[in-house]
Amino acid sequence: MRVPKRSAQQEYRLKQRAQVEASPSLAAKFPRLRGLKATLEYFDPAGVTKNGELKCKMNLEHASAVVWFACRGADCAEGDFDLSEPLAEAVLARRKVAVGELRCQGMRKRGDRERVACRTLLRYKLSLDYDRDTTEKRRASGAGHSTAPKKTGPRTDSEEIPRAQALRKAQRKTSA
């Protein structure tokens, strides 16, 4: 079964999705990263009027290292915001907060036929948490409030599982 003709927009989304799916998870790409939150504010091209805001907590185990958010512009095609690079830079520098702006490079329709540059402005803030060093981590996990059964397997795994579940739950809440 083949869909005979896809719009440029659909082609673009499929390409993006393939790229996202082919990339490793955030946890795999940034093993020292323990938490990632993003606040996104969408502005008009002049950067004056705020058209929307999105806050999300990323699930490091499941979210792709290609961090990409759709443009909210009506009919915007081939635009969107790729935060992969700002994120990689922030992790490399072990920054706890990274803020910046991205501009949508997509095109959108105005009226019936005219296509204009979207240029929606995204102001983002990434909040990052990192792995503590081993001694600190041991002290923290020995604090006694952990309900997760401790396994003797690889250290990181036993801690990742309850955390990933919590993140998944949080993400489900925010993405609604």
Least distance to Zn ion from the beta carbon of 73, Å? 4
DSSP character for 83? -
Q: How many CB atoms lie within 10 A of CB 145?
A: 5
Q: Is 43 in the site for Zn ion (CB under 5 A)?
A: no
* Residue with Cβ nearer Zn ion (79 or 86): 79
Which tokens go with 105?
């490079």
Which tokens go with 15?
């390409």
Site size for Zn ion (CB under 5 A): 8
Least distance to Zn ion from the beta carbon of 68, Å? 13
Least distance to Zn ion from the beta carbon of 72, Å? 8
Q: Is 76 in the site for Zn ion (CB under 5 A)?
A: yes
Query: Starting from the edge strand earliest in sequence, which strands make up the sheet with 97-103, in order?
Result: 50-57, 33-43, 121-130, 97-103
Helix, strand, or coil here: 77? strand
* Residue with Cβ nearer Zn ion (86 or 106): 106
122: left (phi over 0), alpha (psi -120 to 50) or beta: beta
Q: Is 77 in the site for Zn ion (CB under 5 A)?
A: no
Position of tokens 């499929």? 14
* Residue with Cβ nearer Zn ion (122 or 128): 122
Name which of residues 89 to 128 contact Zn ion (CB under 5 A): 104, 106, 118, 120
Q: Is 73 in the site for Zn ion (CB under 5 A)?
A: yes
Chain contacts with Zn ion (rule: CB under 5 A): 71, 73, 76, 79, 104, 106, 118, 120
